[in-house]
Amino acid sequence: MAPPFTREEYTDRLNRVRTRMQELGFDGLVIGDPANINWLTGYDAWSFYTPQIMVVGLEVDPTWIGREMDAGAAKFTTYLPEEQVIPFPETLVQQPDVHPAQFMADWMRGKGFDGKRIGYESDVYFLTPAAVDHLRAGLPNSQWADCALLVNWQRLTKSSAEIAMIAQASVIAGHAMQTAYDGVRPGVRQCDLMAEIVAAQIRGAPEFGGDMTALHPLVLAGEAASTAHPMWTDTPFAADQTIAFELGGCRKRYNAGLARTVHLGTPPETLLTTAEAVGEGMEAVLDAMRAGVPCCDVHAAWQAVLDRYGLEKKSRIGYSIGLGYSPDWGEHTISFRPDDRTLLPTDAVVHIILGMWMDGWGMELSETVHVRESDAVCLTQFPRDVHVIDI
Spatial separation of the C-alpha atoms in residues 328 and 176, rounded to whole Å: 18
148 interacts with a second copy by CB under 8 A: yes
3 within 8 A of 89, measured Cβ to Cβ = no
Q: Is 182 in the site for a second copy (CB under 8 A)?
A: no
16/203 with CB nearer a second copy: 203
Q: How does strand 387-389 pair with strand 362-371?
A: unpaired
Could you say whether residue 227 binds a second copy (CB under 8 A)? yes
Region binding a second copy by CB under 8 A among candidate stretches 110-118, 190-198, 278-286, 345-353: 190-198
In degrees to the nearest 10, what's the CA dihedral of 25, 30, 36, 40?
70
Our finding on whether 234 is near a second copy (CB under 8 A) is yes
Rg, Å, the chain Cα set: 22
Which of 55, 151, 169, 224 touches a second copy by CB under 8 A? Answer: 224
* Residue of 147, 198, 286, 298 that binds a second copy (CB under 8 A): 198
Residue 355: strand pairing partners:
364
Q: Give start and end residues of each alpha helix (H) in the chain.
A: 7-24, 34-41, 68-77, 100-110, 129-138, 150-155, 160-183, 190-203, 269-288, 295-309
List Cβ neighbours of 97 (8 Å cut-off, separation of 6 or more): none
Question: Given the rule CB under 8 A, which of 54-62, 204-212, 280-288, 369-377 is the region that contacts a second copy?
Answer: 204-212
120 binds a second copy (CB under 8 A): yes
d(CA 152, CA 332): 7
One residue of 90, 106, 287, 373 binding a second copy per CB under 8 A: 90
For position 194 contacting a second copy by CB under 8 A, the verdict is yes
Of 11, 76, 106, 373, the one binding a second copy (CB under 8 A) is 76
CA-wise closest residue to 18 among 10, 26, 7: 26
User: Residues 49, 240, 266, 283: which binds a second copy (CB under 8 A)?
Assistant: 49
381 near a second copy, judged by CB under 8 A = no
Q: Smaller CB distance to a second copy: residue 63 or 190? A: 190
Q: Does 164 bind a second copy (CB under 8 A)?
A: no
| Residue 327 sits in the site that holds a second copy (CB under 8 A) | yes
H or E segment and range at residue 249: strand 242-251
Q: Considering the complex, state which of residue 20 and residue 216 has its C-beta at the smaller distance from a second copy.
A: 216
Number of other residues whose CB lies within 10 A of the CB of residue 373 = 10
CA–CA dist 256, 367 (Å, integer): 8
For residue 322, state whether it binds a second copy (rule: CB under 8 A). no
CA distance 25 to 120: 13
Q: Assess 84 for contact with a second copy (CB under 8 A).
A: no
Question: Do residues 134 and 102 make contact, with C-beta atoms less than 8 angstroms apart?
Answer: yes
Which residue in 195, 300, 388, 389 binds a second copy (CB under 8 A)? 195
x/- track of binding to a second copy for residues 329-368 (CB under 8 A)? -x-x--x-x-x---------------x-x-----------
Residue 226 within binding range of a second copy, rule CB under 8 A: yes
Asked if 161 touches a second copy (CB under 8 A), the answer is: no
Longest dimension (CA), the chain: 70
Residue 106 sits in the site that holds a second copy (CB under 8 A): no
Q: Which stretch binds a second copy (CB under 8 A): 9-17, 46-54, 155-163, 280-288?
A: 46-54
Q: Residue 102, interface with a second copy (CB under 8 A)?
A: no
Give, as ranges, the residues between 262 and 321 that touch a second copy (CB under 8 A): 314-316, 319
d(CA 41, CA 341): 31
Compute the half-sphere exposure of residue 158: CA atoms within 13 Å on the CB side of its CA: 24
> Which range, of 180-188, 272-280, 281-289, 322-330, touches a second copy by CB under 8 A?
322-330
Q: Please report whether residue 72 would count as binding a second copy according to CB under 8 A.
A: yes
- Cα distances from 8 to residues 3, 4, 15, 259, 323, in angstroms, run 12, 12, 10, 35, 18
- Tell the smallest beta-carbon distance from residue 377 to a second copy (Å): 25
228 lies in the site for a second copy, by CB under 8 A: yes
